[in-house]
Chains A and B, each alone.
Chain A
Amino acid sequence: MSSARKPKLAVWKFASCDGCQLSLLDCEDELLDLAGAVSIANFLEASSAVQPGPYDLSLVEGSITTSHDAERIHKVRRQSKYLVTIGACATAGGIQALRNFADVNDFIAAVYASPQYISTLATSTPISAHVKVDYELRGCPIDKGQLIEVIAAFLAGRKPAVAAHSVCIECKQRGTPCVMVQGTPCLGPVTHAGCGALCPSYRRGCYGCFGPMETPNTAALAREWQALGAISRDIQRAFRTFNAAAEPFRKESTAHGDQDHPG
């Protein structure tokens, strides 16, 4: 391996809260080592020094909600050897994809006095709806341990070691008693692992911020929730949050009526 050139890392932001790119700055113990191993070539939130592309690895935060951003993501793709999405917005459209279930003009009018100044698309879509994505890292927000693993894996040219099972497995691994058994509705059985089963360890049900696991049985879980007393509205709200546009969650939420946005 040549020592002449450090791999170039870029971080890009689309519609988002900044929390996933902040996770990179939250790697307090690893940050200076990372900066030694890669050239942080484009990370506007952290640095005013911007190096031109191409980039070896682009981390993309946020979803596509404007026509300007729909063009910009293609420019990012063209300059990037690998493109990895970080977080629920980039991977599934994020909380702002709730507009996909409503009339966006009604949303604009609810917030802005002069709707003519606002230019936005009717939907919030994940990056994969626009360009080829090499890897999708889940979570709202992402887990910083997984982020370091994904960066290391791509720079080493190997597959990231990120488990694809459900949150249930993580509860069992850490020995957390099942909250469903104690009567608390939980999305853990259908939710992608990664958080370390955080919510059940705080005695609340998982709220699905890592999005659907592979082939989740959402209908069976919805029946379990009903048995615990949840009504259609509760089930719909639960599936319609930070990963509302991820297909299995979208489908399950739609099966429970459309009363989320009476406005």
Chain B
Amino acid sequence: MATRTIRVDNLARVEGEGALDLHIRDGRITAARLNIFEPPRFFEAMLRGRGYAETPDIVARICGICPIAYQMSAVHAIEQAFGVHVDGQLRALRRLIYCGEWIESHALHVVMLHAPDFLGFSDAIEMASAHGDIVRRALALKKTGNEIMRVVGGREVHPVNVRPGGFHRAPTVAELAPLAEKLREAHETAVALVRWVATLPFPEIERDYEFVALRHPDEYPMNEGRLVSDRGLDIDIAAYDSEFEERHVPHSTALHSVLKRRGAYLVGPLARYALNFDRLPAEVQALAREVGLGPVCRNPFRSIVVRALEIAFACTEALRVIGSYAAPEASALALTPRAGVGYGCTEAPRGICWHRYDFAADGTIRTARIVPPTSQNQPSIEADLVAVATPMLDQPDGAIRHRCEQAIRNYDPCISCSAHFLRLTVHRT
């Protein structure tokens, strides 16, 4: 019996550290594992005994790339536990800062981390030698996303302005105005980016995912909605535990999430898009059709097109919020702590980020649970590896290795969030 082992020790252009293991026996893949050996940091344990007011600052540190996702899920959970609902301009400002995070995070992934794969470059800097204009414009786009984070949040990484009840200081109309000019330019860049990424050479593959995302009555979802899937799931975020389950597997310091009744599912741009296409503005829908993308996309490699479309949407949405902004009377609603449980679930750039906190009467956390997007996608990532590697088992290890790395990067995996490290090993027997 011939055993074949393909290994990627350190997966590049992903956030965090992981490895990949592929076992092939008698021409068949017997195991495909995404090994995450990011050193665990135990946030849920560290949060016990901490105050509700400091929670958004602490959970931001789970991820330097999507701190707003953690802050937003946390503040919504805290407000639910204390019986407060944030609305009006404060709610709109939260949507604005989330647009900033989607723009900077997606632009980083689309151009700096993902596009080089399709064109045979090892990074964006090398890609800049052949596609300088695209890299420079994408950096400007990313900078505009970061600019929103800086104006509304104080800084790009670990913003300081978000608090339970609203913000420490609401920005003035004059502070937001300069963003509008930059966003109009960013929108143009994003539209051009959609058209460019749609021309990249994509492997033909269709995957039978169960898509899971938030769904809101009239918005493309960010901070609020019910948890839905394309196979009939439609639940309040508080009912997450009745349908989903986290499992601890030996090869990962990130817990694997599965649907109790059906197993692997997919969160992130492809899921959000497929379940909420009708919530996108007509011009974004038209742009999708123009570049040949239907209302549902099941090719994980094409997620780069959906991310670019979401950047275009986020620019439009940010402009809408700024256009109708008036500084709120108070920058935050007053909160009175009470004993109880609160849930928060928001759409991080990589998919739903679910939080549950149990508070003591003085607002101190008794227990915390946080389910990041990447840990939910782990079983789907592993299934993708089997799907992409199976048709190419007669090819050399190097080709399989490269395609598998790409398949992982399709997810923009945030291993820092999910715990963190990638190494690819292919065992052939």
Contact = CB atoms under 8 A, between A and B. Distances in A.
Interface of A: 13-23, 25-26, 28-29, 31-32, 35, 40, 43-50, 65-66, 69, 94-96, 98-99, 102, 104, 106-108, 110-114, 117-118, 120, 140-141, 195, 198-199, 201-204, 207, 209, 234, 237, 241-242, 259-263
Residue with the highest number of chain B CB atoms closer than 10 Å, among A44, A50, A69: A44
B290 interface: no
A235 to B, nearest CB: 12
Given A28-B143, A95-B61, A107 B46 contact: yes
A89 to B, nearest CB: 9
Contact of A141 (B49, B122, B139, B157): B157
B192 interface: no
Contacts, number: 200
A260 B168 contact: no
Interface stretch (B12-20, B269-277, B309-317): B12-20
Contacts of B12: 44-45, 47-48, 50
Contacts of B158: 19, 140-141, 209
Nearest to A117: B250
Contacts of A234: 51
B190 to A, nearest CB: 15
B57 A241 contact: yes
Given A50-B10, A117-B248, 20 more contacts: A13-B17, A21-B64, A25-B108, A26-B146, A26-B156, A32-B125, A44-B11, A45-B14, A48-B13, A48-B123, A96-B46, A99-B42, A108-B45, A114-B248, A117-B249, A117-B253, A140-B61, A141-B155, A141-B157, A262-B48
Contact of B157 (A19, A28, A102, A118): A19
A228 B107 CA distance: 45
A88 B161 CA distance: 20
A207 B57 contact: yes
Residue with the highest number of chain A CB atoms closer than 10 Å, among B136, B250, B253: B253
Contacts of A111: 40, 42-45
A22 B167 CA distance: 25
A140 B15 CA distance: 17
Nearest to A104: B42
Given A18-B416, A98-B46, A111-B42, A28 B140 contact: yes
A236 to B, nearest CB: 10
A203 B157 contact: no
Given A204-B168, A207-B57, A209-B158, A18 B15 contact: yes
Contact of A69 (B39, B46, B62, B161): B39
Contacts of B112: 25, 46
B64 A118 contact: no
A195 B139 contact: no
Contact of A26 (B39, B42, B157): B157
Nearest to A195: B155
B46 A114 contact: no
Contacts of A21: 64
16 contacts: A13-B420, A19-B65, A22-B15, A23-B157, A29-B143, A32-B139, A35-B128, A40-B123, A47-B12, A112-B255, A113-B247, A117-B253, A199-B160, A202-B161, A260-B49, A263-B48
Which A-B residue pairs are the 3 nearest by beta carbons? A19-B64, A47-B123, A49-B122
A66 B63 CA distance: 20
Contact of A45 (B15, B45, B67, B136): B15
Contacts of A261: 48-49
Contact of A237 (B44, B54, B139, B154): B54
Interface in B50-79: 50-51, 54, 57-58, 61-65, 67
A113 B248 contact: yes
B157 A22 contact: yes
Nearest to B149: A26
Interface string B244-262: 0001111001010000000
A106 B367 CA distance: 13
Interface in B394-429: 405, 414, 416, 420
Contacts of A241: 54, 57-58
B65 A22 contact: yes
Contacts of A118: 40, 253
A96 B64 contact: no
Interface string B160-197: 11010001110000000000000000000000000000
Contact of B13 (A47, A65, A114): A47
A32 B157 CA distance: 21
Contacts of A49: 122-123, 126
Nearest to A234: B51
A108 B248 CA distance: 12
Contact of A22 (B41, B64, B420): B64
B354 to A, nearest CB: 15
B142 interface: yes
A263 B41 CA distance: 17
Contacts of A202: 154, 160-161, 167-169
Nearest to A43: B123
B408 to A, nearest CB: 12
A199 B168 CA distance: 9
B280 interface: no
Contacts of A48: 12-13, 116, 122-123, 405
A23 B104 CA distance: 12
A17 B62 contact: yes
B45 A106 contact: yes
B255 to A, nearest CB: 7
Contacts of B15: 18, 22, 45
A260 B48 CA distance: 8
A140 B67 CA distance: 12
B123 A108 contact: no
